[in-house]
Chains A and B, each alone.
Chain A
Amino acid sequence: MAPSAATVRSFPRLSDPAPVPEPLPAIVCTGVTKSFYWYAHRTTSLRELFRRHLLRRPIHVRHPRFSLCGLDLRIAVGEGVALLGSNGSGKSTVLRLLAGIYQPTAGTIQVRGRVGTVLELGAGFHLELTGEENLALYGAMLGLGGREMAARTPEILAFADLGDFISMPVKYWSSGMQARLAFATAVCVDPDILLIDEVLAVGDQAFRERCFERLRSFKAQGGTLVAVTHDPAGIEELCPRAVWLEAGEVRGEGPTPEVVADYLRHAGQEG
């Protein structure tokens, strides 16, 4: 029991409503640092190999050492957070860490619930397999049984609306179609948390509308959303909070309109 609660009211009465425990946050990152192996250890030539291992001389590292430096992030269940920042600022790295694809170099990450991801375009698909087969693979990866995935398939197909393409290998699809299936799959497997990278940009206008509609209802049902975007227009409704990353560090955080304004001002100066 928190001490502050005890000082306010020492004797709760039976008629009082039961105290509502603070809900566990969906995502907690504490001091998360990610240093990519290749940046830190890459030995590009025999000479470097020789200097480093035989002469034990440190080599001059020209690469950026950290992709992410001491990120603290707490996202409550049902919250929507936009990640802003220029290319290479670490946004996608954050998503991959949250999805459990990368392991942090330091710090801890806690993610509660099933995670649906829409990362790189066309990624997460086996290009030789048809759309249907890829759906089954995705389900197996999430630990959904074949029957459970089969039950969801009609919904996914209806949402992606790919027609007969669904039974063709994904490699023959256009990039927009791949994005549609990726999004449809991720939202239709009942995730608690959705991680979305800048992939909606490729869908056509009608599909984008449907995506936004779907994300709205996802949020309304208590889903947690983390979205990477370069195009902050229209994101505010889904993500009232924004985090601005620059060179792996948080440059700004707060209500989306303010952070977006700061970010755009900064981007304008840079440009």
Chain B
Amino acid sequence: MRRSPAAWRGLVLHLVLRHLRVKYQRSVLGFLWTLLNPLLTIGVLFAVFRYVVRIQVPDYWAFLLSGYFVWSFAQQTLTAATTVLPEHAHLTRNLPLPGEALILATALSRLVEFLAEMLMVLVLLAVFHHHGVPASFLCLPVLVVLQLALVLGLTLAIATASTFFHDIQHAMPIGLMILFYASPVFYPAALVPEIARPLYALNPFAGLLTLYHSALFEGRAPDPGLAAATAAATALIAWIGYGTFRRYRALLPEIV
């Protein structure tokens, strides 16, 4: 079934709204839960790494805030990647509902929450950390686009692969745990030893989070070289992810 671009937009928008509605219905605190969970995690990370491990970063809470929500967006979207197609199997097997619309809607509905979280982060950082609004906050839209493309590329590939191999569902928590420690979420990338840097640079999340730290925490424009490298890696991953999905798209409704 062919859709006009307007029909496509309408469908994705509808799915995003529906996803948010299902998530928050019959929940009294609603969106607060979305905020509470990462805030509690940030509290734990702060307590452990400020007072026990004693990472030497001034305003460590601000450092955590400027990166943790990016990580949490990636983590939640990638976790959903393995379940979004099976969850909607009864729909996709009986209606011409394209899998890419479901995947895009999953990422976008999470992005809506992320943007709300970011608003809070920006206010907190401006008031208590920078005592003003640094110009580098203006980089945020570019960073968000990079983040979305990177996560979408991975999500498309993972959603496709996990349809064929259920092992991926089991591997995801382990993979995400490794990725968490291999990304500068609770430590600055500068602490990574020189010898491990080339390997470390292969993780596109390392680049992305470092860009966020520059723009939000340090309040200065991100390094253009790092930005270009991260954008290139993101484009590659998005291309591979979408290519993988396209190749197997027609098979998905009959397998899930």
Using a CB–CB distance below 8 Å, which chain A residues touch chain B? 36-38, 96, 99-103, 115, 117, 119-120, 122-129, 133, 136-138, 140-141, 143, 145-146
Please state if A124 and B95 are interface contacts (CB–CB under 8 Å): yes
Contacts A102-B250, A117-B95, A120-B90 aside, 12 further interface pairs with beta carbons under 8 A come to A37-B251, A37-B254, A96-B253, A123-B90, A124-B95, A127-B90, A133-B21, A137-B14, A140-B10, A141-B11, A143-B3, A146-B14
Q: Does A141 contact B97, Cβ atoms closer than 8 Å?
A: yes
Q: Are the CB atoms of B253 and A102 closer together than 8 Å?
A: yes
Q: Which chain A residue has the least Cβ–Cβ distance from B94? A: A123
Q: Give Cα A102–Cα B250 distance, bound, in whole angstroms.
A: 7
In whole angstroms, what is the CA distance A102 to B7 when docked?
A: 21
Interchain CA distance A140-B18 in the complex, whole Å: 11
Taking a contact as CB atoms under 8 Å apart, the answer to whether A138 and B95 are in contact is yes
The number of residue pairs between A and B whose CB atoms lie closer than 8 Å in the complex comes to: 79
Contact indicator B4/A143 (Cβ below 8 Å): yes
Within 8 A of A (CB), among B65-96: 88, 90-96
Which residues of B are found within 8 Å of A124, using beta-carbon distances? 90-91, 94-95
- Tell me whether A141 and B4 are in contact in the complex, defined as CB-CB below 8 angstroms, given that A101-B253, A122-B90 are known contacts: no
Contact A129-B96, Cβ < 8 Å, known A141-B11, A143-B11: no
- The minimal Cβ–Cβ distance linking B53 to chain A, given in whole angstroms, is 42
**Interchain CA distance A137-B92 in the complex, whole Å:** 13
B255 at the interface (CB under 8 A from A): yes
Provide the bound-state CA to CA distance between A141 and B101, in Å: 10
Interface residues on B, range: 20 to 34
Once the chains are docked, how many angstroms separate the CA of A96 from the CA of B21? 30
Question: What is the 8 Å Cβ interface bit string for chain B, positions 18-30, against chain A (1 contact, 0 not)?
Answer: 1001100000000
* Residues in chain A near residue B96, CB distance under 8 A: 99-101, 115, 141
Q: A36-B254, A140-B14 are in contact. Are A101 and B92 (CB under 8 A)?
A: yes
Residue pairs across A and B with Cβ atoms less than 8 A apart, 14 shown, are A38-B254, A96-B93, A101-B92, A120-B90, A120-B93, A120-B94, A122-B90, A124-B91, A125-B90, A126-B22, A137-B18, A138-B95, A141-B97, A143-B11
Q: Most A CB atoms within 10 A — which of B11, B15, B95, B251?
A: B95
**Measured between alpha carbons, how far is A100 from B253 in the docked complex, in Å?**
10
In the complex, B32 has a CB within 8 A of chain A: no
Set of chain B residues within 8 Å of A137, measured between Cβ atoms: 14-15, 18
Q: Is B91 touching A115 in the complex (CB atoms < 8 A)?
A: no
**Across the interface, which residues of B come within 8 angstroms of A125, CB to CB?**
90-91
Pairwise interchain contact A129-B22, C-beta atoms closer than 8 A? yes
Whether A38 lies near B255 (C-beta < 8 A) is yes
Check if B94 sits within 8 Å of A119, measured CB to CB: yes
Question: How far, in whole Å, are A174 and B48 apart by their CA atoms in the complex?
Answer: 52
A103 and B98 CA atoms in complex are apart in Å by 12
